[in-house]
Amino acid sequence: MAVDERELILTLFPGTDPELLPPGEVLYYREGERVVIEEAPFRVELFPLPRPALPRPAICEACGRPLGGAYARFFRLRVPGRGPEEVYRYVVLCEDTEACRERARPEVLRRILRKGILR
């Protein structure tokens, strides 16, 4: 199983660049207001920001679709780290996570996931 292999590598070599691990299954779903992207054992939670007035369509980072204001949502994720300073990153995603998941490719979701685990 790819997941076991990933966990084994991380147990033996903590801090291995996720890029070097064999690919696992990428999950992308809503959990209440939050959006979760997961590739075991990594997981990031994206918190929605108040809806801004978008002057022009934004592009969803997960599926690449241009989105009008009502369909786009800004999310913020906090990057964990040892330093005292907080590091946040911002992602624009479709408001409709289920529809977005149908279109989003795993390698693109993986890139967003990495934003939340690497400084």
- Site of interaction with Zn ion (CB under 5 A): 60, 62-63, 94, 100
Q: How do strand 58-59 and strand 27-31 relate by DSSP bridges?
A: unpaired
Q: Which is nearer to Zn ion, 100 or 112 (CB)?
A: 100
Closest CA to 63 of 53, 73, 52: 73
Q: Give strand ranges (E) for 1-119.
A: 27-31, 34-39, 42-48, 58-59, 66-67, 72-79, 87-94
d(CA 89, CA 112): 10
Q: Which is nearer to Zn ion, 63 or 77 (CB)?
A: 63
Nearest distance, CB of residue 20 and Zn ion, angstroms = 28
Nearest distance, CB of residue 59 and Zn ion, angstroms = 9
Nearest distance, CB of residue 60 and Zn ion, angstroms = 3
